[in-house]
Amino acid sequence: MRRCGVNSKLFKLMPNELENKKEVAVFGGGCFWCTEAIFQMLQGVRSVKSGYAGGTKPNPTYEDVCTDSDGHAEVVKIEFNPAIIKFRDLLEIFFATHNPTTLNQQGNDHGGQYRSIILYATPEQKTEAENYIELLTLQNEFDKPIVTELKPLNEFYEAENYHQNYYHNNESKPYCQIIISPKLAKFKAHHPKLIN
């Protein structure tokens, strides 16, 4: 698989040219605390917000989503600068940092809210995601079929304030130490050039 990386030549652009470019990507790959912490580390990512999407209920709460009855998934909304990091790079990171072959589950987290999902913001993102999933399948990157759901982004609902920047605000908590910290360390070791 191609190693993702930031094109250093792009940093020769004027600062305001870099600053003005912005796109949005929305991914769900299990607990949004983990996903948020990974994407926050990346060069070219302007912001990461945890939230809910993919379901039917307007303005869901965390409690609503935990019942697994409204169809929403825990997701992150990533605002990024495509002059520094491409959507394709984000796709590679997304698939490298969760298990896209387990239906409605990531590790010990079970339920539809933890499903693997890409909510595309543009037709181009849809095509790129489809092509990348096809490539992973052809290359037998996983020993089971990819079950990642692909659907249009209709609405993103920002999660409650205590979910935002969760890892950085709660690093000493057992969940962060046992689940998130090892995942971040592994990611940093494999992708040092992408880190801010």
The pair of structure tokens assigned to 168 is 């950085």
Write out the chain's pLDDT in tens, 196 residues: 444 555 544 445 555 555 678 999 999 999 999 999 999 999 999 999 999 999 999 999 999 999 878 899 999 999 999 999 999 999 999 999 999 999 999 988 999 999 999 999 999 999 999 999 999 999 999 999 999 999 999 999 999 999 999 999 999 999 999 999 998 988 888 888 788 7
Q: Is 7 helix (H, G, I), strand (E, B) or coil?
A: coil
Q: Delineate the domains of the chain, giving CATH numbers in brackets.
A: 21-161+170-181 (3.30.1060.10)
Q: How far is CA 178 from the centre of its chain?
A: 20
What is the pTM (predicted TM-score) of this model?
0.87
Catalytic residue among 4, 31, 34, 176: 31
Residue 4 annotated among the catalytic residues of the structure = no
Question: In which element (H, E) is residue 89 found?
Answer: helix 87-96
Report the distance separating Cα 43 and Cα 194, nearest Å.
6
Bridge partner list, 74 = 52
